[in-house]
A and B are shown apart, each in its own frame.
Chain A
Amino acid sequence: MIQQEINQDRAMTNEDLIALSPLLTIAATSVALMLVIAFRRDRMTALVCALVGIALAIAMLPVAATRAPRQITPLLILDQYAIFYLGLLFVAGFVVASLAHGYLCEHEGQPEEFYLALLLATSGGAALVMSDHFASFFLGLELLSVSLYVLIAYPRARAHSVEAGIKYLILAAASAAFLLFGMALIYAELGTMEFARIGVETAGAVRPELLLIGQGMIFVGIGFKLAVVPFHVWAPDVYEGAPAPVTAFVATVSKGAVFALLVRYFANLGSESFNLFFPALAVIAVASMFVGNLLALAQNNVKRILAYSSIAHFGYLLVAFLAGGSLGATAAAFYLVAYIVTSLMAFGVVTVLSDRREAEEMEDYRGLFWRRPGIATIFLAALLSLGGIPLTAGFMGKFYVLVAGLGSALWLLALMLVVNTMIGFYYYLRLAFMMFRDAPEGGAVSFATPSLSFMSAAALAGLTLLMVWMGVYPGPIINTIRTMVAGLIP
């Protein structure tokens, strides 16, 4: 018996280390960067260090893929699913770091630690998508959260940023406490913290009500990170207060990693728990769509509009999640990729237009097309994709979600999705038309036009190409997603 225990908790082998190499690379880079900053404080060095680290981690993915699927200690698992999301998070992290460079050059102060916190947050997200144990789930989530507090409040001179940082900290810590208490209740009832064994042993629980409370509290923690209604109150303030590149990070990497974990968690729990939570999740999905879209109508701040829009988008994503099965998971993954690419474009444009002041007011975008046609075109493409106009990634994403929803006979949810897409058009197009209006009379454009750094331009152009490619010819990405989902949900 004891021998068996020891075998089960065996020490890590070289094979395990190879499988872990992407995560190890990111973690090692953050330590290295910390040392580099101690000896040589230079923004270019820090940026290059961060970019090389993330690129190395991406290069390690094919190497790690040769060892997949592999359980690495009881805490982490490396399978096709994890590799796919690791790639997505790393690429998003790379783009955010590139965009942040130009933005930070416009601000005084020391930008080096920004990249350090960015690397740590990315490694937290990476740990999340690999975790299949409560301990790694919690550690990944907290690594992500604590780094985000620092990133959100990074421009210390900006009152809004400090306020947003505190708000996020208080709410994130409270939701982490909910999450932990829920985990403790489930552990108290089942005696295990591994996702797979929780799924197996749920059926034999003596007090199912304790489990139900526990799962509910865990969902509070997850729902907060995804900013779905009713856990969405922080999103507009944090989106507005955080520096634009960090807003991009919160909207993409943080939410994407937690959503990937949610899908894995429920795939392990099995269909009984899924059916138990179905009504609650359906209400959350519908409420998120309506609240997000309706509140976005009344906003004049572009970052707040995008915040409410992202609440609505996670409502759409939950529809795909609720459709269940491999079709639902495929649709959800495709939608998430489309959403991340498009959001990075939209926040990327806000980032490159910001100087000392954030380019967040509607008026800042008046006549943008006549002043900066290139950037305006990219922003227009992002808005059309967020709205779901054909030939964009957002349209294909919505199409797959709709097919998955109808395939599982979720008529009402599918109808809500269509209605909400219509509402969404209104505010996306309002913003789009703003860019074609004439510049205000007198030519007194109060708006400085910071120069576009090469890296931001390359990142935005790459994202736009990717977005159009996904909208016109989604076949290859869909096939990749199908194979990776097949490993998780047979």
Chain B
Amino acid sequence: MASVPTEYGLLLAGALFVLGLIGVLVRRNIVFILMSLEIMLNAAGLAFVTAGARWAQADGQVMYLFILSMAAAEVAVGLALVLKLYHQFKTLDADAASRMHG
């Protein structure tokens, strides 16, 4: 089976990572920011799988499973906070909900 060169995998992961980062920076809706964060984390996971494939080790996929479970935990807490935020500010706009300055 011909394998995909490592560079392609890393480039794809890099592109995904940058897309996610742009989403985090540009989006103002907190739910979309959380989704963009997921994309960044999954890009890192893809990079790990690619790296693991290069060395024919399971470590890359193990790391991906860790990332997956950590992202789930993070989103669970994140969505709970988003709910509270919506109750308090009646908005999901990140700028409108930012009250602390100085």
How long is the Cα–Cα vector from A240 to B100 in the complex, in angstroms? 8
Q: Is the CB of A193 within 8 A of B84?
A: no
Q: Is the CB of B44 within 8 A of A177?
A: yes
> B95: shortest Cβ distance to chain A, in Å?
12
Considering the complex, give the chain B residue whose CB is closest to the CB of A142.
B70
* Residues of the B chain whose Cβ atoms lie less than 8 Å from the Cβ of A183: 44, 48, 63
Count of B interface residues, CB-CB < 8 Å: 48
Count of A interface residues, CB-CB < 8 Å: 42
Known A169-B74, A177-B20; judge A159-B89 contact (CB<8 A): yes
Q: Is the CB of B24 within 8 A of A174?
A: yes
A interface secondary structure, majority: helix
Known A162-B85, A163-B99, A180-B44; judge A146-B67 contact (CB<8 A): no
Task: List CB contacts (< 8 Å) of A146-179 with chain B.
Answer: 146, 149-150, 153, 156, 159-160, 162-167, 169-170, 173-174, 176-177
Known A146-B70, A162-B88; judge A134-B44 contact (CB<8 A): no
* Residues of the B chain whose Cβ atoms lie less than 8 Å from the Cβ of A173: 37, 40-41, 74, 78
Q: Is the CB of A139 within 8 A of B43?
A: no
Interface: A299 (CB within 8 A): yes
Partner-binding segment picked from A21-29, A55-63, A184-192, A345-353: A184-192
Known A166-B30, A166-B81; judge A177-B17 contact (CB<8 A): yes
Q: Which of B51, B70, B78, B81 has the most chain A CB within a 10 Å cutoff? A: B81
Chain A to chain B contacts (Cβ below 8 Å), 13 pairs: A142-B74, A146-B70, A173-B41, A174-B24, A177-B17, A177-B41, A181-B47, A184-B50, A184-B60, A187-B51, A188-B51, A188-B54, A191-B55
A: residues with CB less than 8 A from B are 134-135, 138-139, 142, 145-146, 149-150, 153, 156, 159-160, 162-167, 169-170, 173-174, 176-177, 180-181, 183-185, 187-188, 191, 193, 236-237, 240-241, 298-299, 301, 304
B: residues with CB less than 8 A from A are 6, 10, 13-14, 17, 20-21, 24, 30, 33-34, 37, 40-41, 43-45, 47-48, 50-52, 54-55, 57, 59-60, 62-63, 66-67, 70, 73-74, 77-78, 81-82, 84-85, 88-89, 94, 97-100, 102
